[in-house]
Every structure is written in C-alpha cells, then in structure tokens.
Amino acid sequence: MKRTTSIAVIATLAIAGVLVTNDARAISGNFVDPDASTEKMGQWPAIVHLPVEGPVEGEYLFPGQALSGDCTMSLRMQTDGNLVIYDNSQRALWATNTVNSGGYAKMQSDGNFVVYNWADSAVWASGTVPNGCSGNCNQLDMQSDGNLVMSQPSLDGHGGWTRVAIWTSNTSGYSEFPQSPCPVNRRKTVVWSDMDAPGGDYHQIIPNEARASWCGYYCTQDSNCVAYTYVPPPNGSPTGECFLKNTVPTGANHSGFTTGVVYGVGPG
C-alpha cells in the first residue's frame, strides 16, 4: 500500500504536492560533472550529459543554488526569491530586488537571464536577447572581480572570434581571497524539454499545479536527488507527476516531458 504524505515547501509560497512513493534507494546528491563550469551559464554543448540529445530549455538556479568559480564571489538564488551577488565576507554587492516575488532564475536558450515567480511569470530580466546571433550564443559569467557579465560572440577584426559584454551588474573592482573549504552550494540545474529519463526513481510527487519548475524545486531541495522528470497531464495525474531520481539515466525523447539534471558541487 502506498504511503501518502503532504510536504511543506518555501515559506509563504504555495508550492505543495503529495509524496506518492518513498523507497530506500537514496544516495549522495553530490553529483559532479567535470565539464560543468560552476561560474558560468550558457555552455550547453559542453555539458550535455544525457546520452540522447534533446533541446536544452535552459539552465536554472533554484533556491539554494549558486554560481561561483573559486569561491571568492557568488551569485546565489535565495529562498526568499532574491538573486544576490555576495563577496566571501557575505556582503551583498548587487541584487534583483525580488524578495517575496521571485522563485528561481533561468538562463534561457534565447540569451535572456530571467527571474521567475512560482507561477512561471517573469519578475526580472537582463534584457539580453542576442542580435545577429542564433542558438545558445550568450554566456553568463560570475567573475572573481565581483562582476556578473553577459557576453556574446563577436568578430575580433582579425578573422577570429572573441566575446564582448552586452550586460553587466557593474560590480567589478573587488579583490577577494578564495575560501577553503568553500561554503557555497555551487550547483545549477540543466533542463531539457521533450525529454524523458526512465529509471532511477525514488520519489514520485504529484504537484498541486501542472508546473515542471515545481519538480525542479522538489529535486534541488532534496540532497538525494540528482535528476528529475516531469510527466505532464493527461499522463497520470491531472496536474502531472514529478519523478525524483538518485541516478542520471539514459535520456529518451518524449514530447511534452521535461528532464533536469543537477550539476556542480556542494559546500566543502
């Protein structure tokens, strides 16, 4: 007989679901991919992990996740909805000012970096949809000098290519020493649309609303979860189903399904 338990999530935000299954196959959530940079977003060709390729929908920072390279500066998606740059003295240098309105941040395939609420509506955006560039052109870097920079490719005038900044947080000029051990949860979540990843399931959650982003939240708040798949209605529940995974299975193209994989390394 299946055990049904309600679960509570995020303070005042109504992100609720029903835990349908709970077995004992949990493993460590410290999934590390050497090709996945911990300070950049937008490098999808280099970090495709699922053996079957599908369209990458975007890279996400869910609450508790952060971009940071050498742990001098970090861009953190907070549980209160604010996206904040911190130095290693925990001083806030910049923020989207989305406290209680933001939910998660997304580096989109169109080059825009956006903070969304849990109704999947944008509450802040970098406004960096590229001009004269198609595909995944833009790259977001959390630099060690404290500047958050969006860049895109440009001809260098000598027959080659370089990257030019098209947006910054204007927070450069800081100099910090790397922290060891690093206290920052240097993880991000790469999401594929129209992708299933059968196998490795240890939790099945039915969300209260049909939103794939909620499955990403459930996964990233569980240290045992390294991947997830959202199965939309009318498959199973009227609001869809979230399958949390403790391994990264082989991907399989499946229209309407959404699969996310957590990349990076935790504090330490």
Q: What residue spans define the domains of the chain?
A: 5-125+180-265
> Which distant-in-sequence residues (6+ apart) come within 8 Å of 127 by Cβ?
112, 167
Alpha carbon 158 to chain centroid, angstroms: 36
Q: Report the Cα–Cα distance between both ends of the chain, in Å, rounded.
A: 40
Structure tokens at 49: 């992990």
Structure tokens at 205: 């959650």
* Cβ–Cβ < 8 Å for 216, 263: no
Model confidence, pTM: 0.83
| CATH class held by domain 5-125+180-265 | mainly beta
pLDDT values of the chain reduced to their tens digit, one per residue, 268 residues: 222 222 223 323 345 555 443 332 222 222 333 334 566 776 543 344 444 456 678 899 999 999 987 788 999 999 999 999 999 889 999 999 999 999 999 999 888 999 999 999 999 999 988 666 665 678 899 998 999 999 888 877 787 778 888 999 999 888 777 777 888 999 999 999 999 999 999 999 999 999 999 999 999 999 999 999 999 999 879 999 999 999 988 889 999 999 999 988 888 6
* Cβ–Cβ < 8 Å for 161, 191: no
